[in-house]
Amino acid sequence: MSRTAQIIRNTKETQITLSLDLNGGEIDIRTGIGFFDHMLTAFAFYGGLGLSLKAKGDLEVDGHHTVEDVGICLGQAVKEALGDRRGIRRFASAYIPMDEALCLAALDFSNRPFLSFDAEMPQSMIGAYDSCLTEEFMRAFAVNSGSTLHLKALSGKNAHHITEAIYKALGVAVREAIQVTGTGVTSTKGVL
């Protein structure tokens, strides 16, 4: 079963092309923000996803537009690739440790967008990546994928470790939630 999507987004602030395969494949990420590329690569790897992403944004301003718009595009791609969501497990969660940091991602591909984000970032910058942008990315992803997403840092003193554990936890949860385990819609309502 093909579960793919291609998204193109061109605005005055960003130009993004994205190809997603929920069944896996090559990972090639280029956003112009090194740490963000690293996070998206980790997300795709632990999510078992094939992801090709090229983003050019107004980085002379800052990374906000690029990070948020990538979240929009990735969310739209997941929503398109899931189709009617028939047969998917739907719910998943993952705890991921990274050194002193421990983070939780709990996910429901419910088609009811919501984000709960509880992760204080002790340092404001991680290389050229503003650590507050993690929440912006996750909000854009949750809204555009139609997912209920809870993210929580249970411990951590290093923003790099906290952020990486969050992206990896999301990847692991996505991998489990998108598994096809049946033929019907996983809902007592019969529709998602």
Task: Spell out the domains of the chain, with CATH numbers in brackets.
Answer: 4-177 (3.30.230.40)
What would the two tokens of residue 97 be?
């440790």
Q: How far apart are CA 150 and CA 129, in angstroms?
A: 22
Q: How far apart are CA 60 and CA 63, in angstroms?
A: 8
pLDDT tens track for 36-76: 999 999 999 999 999 999 999 999 999 999 999 999 999 99
Contact (Cβ atoms closer than 8 angstroms) between residue 7 and residue 81: no
pLDDT at 133: 98
pLDDT at 149 over 80: yes
Q: Say how many C-beta atoms besides its own lie within 10 A of residue 9's C-beta.
A: 16
pLDDT tens track for 86-119: 999 999 999 999 999 999 999 999 999 999 999 9
Contact (Cβ atoms closer than 8 angstroms) between residue 30 and residue 37: yes
Q: How far apart are CA 48 and CA 37, in angstroms?
A: 16
- pTM for the model stands at 0.96
